[in-house]
Amino acid sequence: MPVISEPQDFNEDDLYVDLEPIVAQRLFLKCEGFNFAGSIKLKAAAAMIRGAERSGRLKADSVLVESSSGNLGVALAMIAANRGYRFVCVTDTRCNLATRQLISALGGRVHLITEPAPTGGYLRARIDHVRALCADDDRYVWLNQYSNPDNGQAHYRTTAPAIAARFPDLDVLFIGAGTTGTLMGCARYFRDHRPRVRIVAVDTAGSVTFGQAPGRRMIPGLGTSIRPPLLDISCVDEVVHVAEADTIRTCHRLAHRGFLFGGSTGTVVSAATRWLADAGHDGLTAVAIAPDLGERYLDTIYHTPWISDLYGNDALTGPDDHTTLPTRPSVAAGVGGGAVEP
Q: Catalytic amino acids? A: 41, 264
Count CA atoms within 13 Å of residue 57 on its CB side.
15
* Number of other residues whose CB lies within 10 A of the CB of residue 316: 19
CA distance 238 to 53: 36
Give the strand pairing for 27-31 and 16-18: antiparallel
Name the amino acid, one letter, at 42: L
> Under a CB-based contact definition with an 8 Å cutoff, are residues 178 and 221 in contact?
yes
- From 34, 130, 114, 125, select the one nearest 73 (Cα to Cα): 130
CA distance 261 to 326: 19
- From 221, 226, 267, select the one nearest 73 (Cα to Cα): 221
> Under a CB-based contact definition with an 8 Å cutoff, are residues 246 and 313 in contact?
no
CA distance 67 to 137: 17
DSSP calls for 183-249: HHHHHHHHHHH-TTSEEEEEEETT--TTSPPP----SSSS--SS--TT--GGG-SEEEEE-HHHHHH
